[in-house]
Structure 1
Amino acid sequence: MFEIPDRPGPAPRTRGPIPHGQLNQVAPTTLQEELWQRMRSLAGVYVAPTHVPYPEARAIHLAPEFGTGPADAFIKNSREFAHLHPQQDGSLHMTLPSTVKKIVTEAGWGVPHPIQNTQLVYGPRDRDEIEVVWRVLLQSYDYARGRVPE
């Protein structure tokens, strides 16, 4: 079963629904870039423009031969399953199974998008937090690949 620790401190302020993002407690640029490099290095992932009205976001998509997940494992009937917002924001949107969305929300790591099937995940503020955010992102990747969480 997927588990994560509670996120320390108060939740960041957010805006939205369009664009939906984080307004404070922004992840340091070095951590954003490390997370982006990890995201784009996953097997079967390719970088392409996002399908949401936030053109500065950097999106990852999954090649069809790697991604056999359900339709809601992808954003807007595309191959995109996650994107990282620009540096002034640093949060991410990703698709997640409903059980994982609930865990992420209850542990204080993000909130569901108010009108789309994605979860806003707050950007990591430190080295410990990047590991939690990465574990959540891997849940999105597995979902897009058609792997059911235990």
Structure 2
Amino acid sequence: MPLNLEFELPLRIGIKPITTPSNPHMQLDQQPTDRKLVNELMNWAFSLPDIAQANSKISVPGAQAMCLSEDKMCNHCNAFMIENEFAHFHPVPDGSIHLGLPLNDAKYVIEKGWGELHPIAKRGYLPLNFIMVYAPRNEEEVLVIKKIIFRSYQFARGHFKD
């Protein structure tokens, strides 16, 4: 079955969440009042083919990483933060996600208000395609964020060039 290469996002409604300006990069407000939104997103993400759930090797304690099977990893892209980890979910109360995207997609997600550049990328320690995607506030936002995560997953598998 061919992958859906269409990547269109609506404009995120409301002001951007408050986040920390340095590490650990966290979302400080606008978290979902019901953690089931983040849990639903995580359950979906960790059910994708060739994905293992693990403790993040680069994030705060409790962060859960999406790790791609090594035999499925792209060898010619900036999709991975460390080893085979290309995305991770931050623990309660945060709920935001860090992930890698093709550079133009990362800029697009930011322009549409769904995320921001990782402060470590701003300082040159990570490529400029690593962003924070804000935590979902409702079911509609879960659907949009699934598109962003799936795009990151496709990027990690080598379906897009940076």
Indicate the TM-score class for this superposition, using the shorter chain for normalisation.
Answer: over 0.9
1:106 paired to 2:111: yes
Structure 1 residue 96 displacement after superposition: 0.6
Point out 4+ residue stretches in structure 1 off by more than 6 angstroms.
none
Q: Distance in 2 between matches of 1:135 and 1:72?
A: 19
Percent identity for Structure 1 against Structure 2: 38
**TM-score (norm: length of structure 1):** 0.93
Q: Distance in 1 between matches of 2:65 and 2:111?
A: 26
Q: 1:2 matched to which residue of 2?
A: 7
What are the Cα deviations for residues 13-72 of structure 1, in whole angstroms up to 9, with x where unaligned? 001321101000002300010011011101000112212141211111000122225341
1:138 paired to 2:150: yes
Q: Distance in 2 between matches of 1:84 and 1:46?
A: 13
Q: How does 1:1-150 map to 2 (within 5 A)?
A: 1-27=6-32, 28-76=34-82, 78-115=83-120, 116-117=126-127, 118-148=130-160
Q: Distance in 1 between matches of 2:79 and 2:132?
A: 14
Across the two proteins, how many residue pairs are aligned to each other?
148
Q: Distance in 2 between matches of 1:3 and 1:57?
A: 28
Structure 2, unaligned stretches of length 5 or more? 1-5, 121-125
Q: 2:3 matched to which residue of 1?
A: none
Q: CA RMSD in A?
A: 1.4
Structure 1, unaligned stretches of length 5 or more? none
